[in-house]
């Protein structure tokens, strides 16, 4: 699954799952754009990839802002002349029970996780349609498939990504653009490190493989769906969760 001569944009690419995705695409030959709100960290992540001999740039981006997302794609096109792969990985949490959740908590998570993915998809679709080629992989979560107490905002945003992706997949399939979803299970990242230990222990009991996943394992699934080997797969959700959502 090589990505030579391909350009991949990864939002939230400075750390965790996003960084693992960016590194894997670069290792397989893609030019990589790391988009993130934290400009210095994004630049450092891109520099790390460049130091390994691959081409990577950082574009500071607030995906929740429509113009910022459009600028991301415009700047990518100006730099590389095309965009082949978009991975919408940027995500945030503000976990609490609904009785304590504020409207700001709800809006912030939905704006970044769901509206952010929509903003980037909307900006990327036009050049992809002109190319008659594109691969979009949106990152959801097991919380978007089954829900999670204390995460009405996060679960809603991740479930929304699934519905949005399926609708978009139908809109753009005739232009050789696929849209798929990866739904990770529990992975040690900045979003999960602050979870209460008792919750971590209870979640572990639900994982048939008996362990948490690794960012690189999520990245491998994303790379497959973005590859030409997956050209006949669109509108699908791939759970990478150690068997948690087995049906």
Taking the C-alpha atoms of 209, 213, 216 and 219 in order, what is their torsion angle to the nearest 10 degrees? 90
State the number of CA atoms in the 13 A half-sphere of 48 facing the CB.
Answer: 15
Note the helical H segments in the chain.
Answer: 16-27, 39-51, 66-80, 103-110, 116-131, 142-146, 152-172, 197-204, 215-226
CA 146 to CA 152: how far, in whole Å? 11
Q: CB neighbours of 11 closer than 8 A, spacing ≥ 6?
A: 18, 35, 36, 61, 63, 72, 87, 88, 89, 90, 116, 117, 120
- 3-state secondary structure (DSSP) of residue 135: strand
Among 218, 142, 138, smallest CA distance to 179 is for 138
Residue 154 annotated in active site: yes
* Residue 11 β-bridge partners: 35
Q: Of the residues 3, 133, 154, 186, which is catalytic?
A: 154
Greatest C-alpha distance within the chain: 51
Q: CB neighbours of 212 closer than 8 A, spacing ≥ 6?
A: 185, 186, 187, 188, 204, 242
CA 228 to CA 212: how far, in whole Å? 29
Q: Which residues are known to be catalytic?
A: 154
């Amino acid at each position: 699954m090589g990505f030579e001569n391909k350009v991949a944009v990864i939002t939230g690419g400075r750390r965790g799952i996003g960084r693992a995705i960016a590194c894997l695409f670069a290792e397989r030959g893609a030019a990589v754009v790391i988009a993130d709100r934290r400009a210095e960290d994004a630049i450092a992540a891109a520099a790390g990839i460049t130091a390994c001999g691959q081409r990577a740039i950082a574009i500071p981006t607030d995906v929740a802002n429509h113009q910022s997302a459009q600028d991301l794609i415009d700047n990518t096109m100006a730099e590389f002349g095309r965009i082949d792969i978009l991975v919408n990985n940027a995500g945030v949490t503000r976990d609490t029970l609904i009785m304590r959740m504020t409207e700001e908590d709800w809006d912030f998570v939905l704006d970044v996780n769901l509206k952010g993915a929509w903003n980037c998809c909307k900006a990327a679709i036009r050049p992809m349609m002109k190319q008659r080629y594109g691969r979009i992989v949106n990152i959801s979560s097991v919380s978007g498939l089954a829900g999670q107490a204390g995460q009405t905002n996060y679960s809603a945003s991740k479930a929304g990504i699934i519905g949005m992706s399926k609708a978009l997949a139908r809109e753009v399939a005739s232009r050789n653009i696929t849209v798929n979803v990866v739904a990770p299970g529990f992975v040690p990242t900045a979003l999960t490190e602050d979870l209460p230990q008792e919750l971590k222990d209870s979640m572990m009991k639900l994982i048939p493989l008996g362990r948490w996943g690794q960012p690189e394992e999520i990245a491998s699934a994303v790379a497959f769906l973005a590859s030409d080997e997956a050209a006949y797969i669109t509108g699908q959700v791939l759970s990478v969760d150690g068997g948690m959502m087995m049906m």
